[in-house]
Amino acid sequence: MPKTTAYQAIIEHISILDENANFDSQLGDGVMTDEQALHLYEHMCTCRELDEVAFKLQRSGRMGTYPQNKGQEAAAVGVALALQKGKDWIVPSYRENAALFMHGLPMHYIFMYWMGDERGSQMPEGVNVTPLSVPIGTHMLHATGIAWAEKLRKSDGVAATFFGDGATSEGDFHEAMNFASTLKVGVVFIGQNNGWAISVPRSKQMNSETLCQKALAYGMPTVRVDGNDIYAVHYAAKDAVARARAGEGPTFIECVTYRLGDHTTADDARRYRDEQEVEAWRNRDPILRVRKYLTAKGSWDDARDEALKAKAKKIVAEVVDAAINVAPPETTDFFDDMYESLPEDLRRQRETMRTSSLGQDPSQVGLNAQAASVEGR
C-alpha cells in the first residue's frame, strides 16, 4: 500500500495595520468603524497611563508587586470589543486590564487587588469577569466550564480567556482545550504570545513554531494574528465569538505580541533580554501605529492627542484616589467569606483571634487565673 496523508493543516496569519501604519483595506475594511478605532485608541492610552502610574506607586511603596501590561494592550481591546458586556464572560490571567475595564470592571479594582485587598476581586453584580489568576494556566478550565453552562442552558453567551505562551506548557491548558473542543462549547482562547515566560524564551518553552499548532491537536479552529494590531485581533475575535455564539465551538487565537516592561515590578528583564530586541518591539507598539493611521486619515491630530493625555492623567489620578482612599478592611474580613455561613469552630476563632489561645476553654486550663496573675504583677 502506498503511504497516504493522514492529516494536513494550514495556519493562517493575519496582519491588517502594520507597524508603519500600512493598512490592508482588503482584509481590514469593515472590521471596525473609525469611531470604534478611536475609542480603542483612547482606552489603550488611558490603560498605558494607568500602567505607568502603577509602576510609580510600586516604586514609591504604595503598591505591592505589579505586572505591567505595557505593549500588550491591542490583544485585550481587540477581543473585548467583540464581547457583550453583562452577557459574555472574561476569564483573565493578569496582563489584559484593558479588556476587563471595557467589560465593566471598575478601574480602581485592579489597583485594590495589587494593593493587597481582596475587595478588588469582589466583582460588582452583572460584571462577568472572574478575578485575576496568578497561578499560570489553570484558569482556562473555568472558561470552558462557564461556556459549558451556557450551552446547557441553551443560552449563547461566550467565555473569552487570556493566557500567555508559558501557560500553554501547563497540563490544564491542554485539558481546557480538549474539553472545550470535545464538548463543543463557546470558548475563545486567546494566547498572548509575548515571547517570554519571565526569563524563559519561547524557544526553551516549546519546540512548536506556533502556539496555534497546539489547537490543531484538539481539532480546534485556530488563527495567528499580529497581536499588536487592533484590527487583526478584532478580525479574529469577531469571527471566533460569532462561531461560539452560533454553537460551533471554541477557537484558539494566537496573538503575537511583546511585553515592553518587566514580568512584574519584582523582575529585571535586562538580566535576560537584549535591549535591541526590546527597542525593535517599541517600534511595533500597538498604540503608536493606531495614532499614525488615524492621524494620516485626518481623524486625529496632535492637539487632540495632548487633550487625551491630560484626560487620561485625570482619570488615572481619580483611580489612584479611589483605590488609596478605600475604607480599610475589617480585621475579621478574611473569616467572613470562607463559607456562606461561618461554621461554629471558625466563629470561635474569629471572636477570639486577639484575646485567647485558639480553642482553649479558659475554665479548664486556668488561663483566667494566669491572666489575673499577670495583671496583678
- DSSP, collapsed to helix, strand or coil, labels residue 204 as helix
- Residue 243 is among the residues annotated as catalytic for this protein: no
Cβ at position 50, least distance to another protein in Å: 22
> Per-residue string for binding with another protein, 35-54, x by CB under 8 A?
--------------------
Decide whether 200 or 346 has the Cβ nearer to another protein: 346
Applying the rule CB under 8 A, the residues between 309 and 348 that interact with another protein are 333-334, 336-340, 343-346
Point out which span in 42-50, 58-66, 146-154, 261-269 binds another protein (CB under 8 A): 146-154
Long-range interactions of 334-341: CB distance < 8 A, separation 24+: 334/118
Q: Is 263 noted as a catalytic residue in this protein?
A: yes
CA atoms of 113 and 241, how far apart (whole Å): 29
Taking the CA of residue 351 as centre, how many other CA atoms within 13 Å lie in the half-sphere pointing to its CB?
9
How many whole angstroms from its chain centre is CA 151? 24
Please give the grid coordinates belonging to residue 252.
Answer: 484558539
Q: For 53-103, give the DSSP string.
A: HHHHHHHTTSS------TT-HHHHHHHHTTSPTTTSEEE--SS-HHHHHHT
The span from the CA of 201 to the CA of 60, in Å, is: 30
Nearer Cβ to another protein (121/208):
121
Nearer to another protein, 66 or 218 (CB): 218
Residues 161-180 that bind another protein (CB under 8 A): 171-172, 175-176, 178-179
Q: Using CA atoms of 223, 18, 79, 310 in order, give the dihedral in degrees to the nearest 10.
A: 170
Query: Closest CB to another protein among 44 and 159?
Result: 159
150 is a contact residue toward another protein (CB under 8 A): yes
- Site size toward another protein, by CB under 8 A: 50
Active-site annotation holds for 350: no
Residues 81-120 that bind another protein (CB under 8 A): 89, 91, 118-119
Which listed residue (43, 95, 263, 289) is catalytic?
Answer: 263
Q: Are strands 196-197 and 200-201 parallel, antiparallel or unpaired?
A: antiparallel
Residue among 257, 264, 319 at smallest CA distance from 53: 319
Q: Interface with another protein by CB under 8 A: which residues?
A: 89, 91, 118-119, 121-124, 130-131, 135, 138-139, 141-150, 152-153, 159, 171-172, 175-176, 178-179, 182-183, 333-334, 336-340, 343-346, 359-361, 364-365
Which residues are catalytic, by number? 259, 263, 272
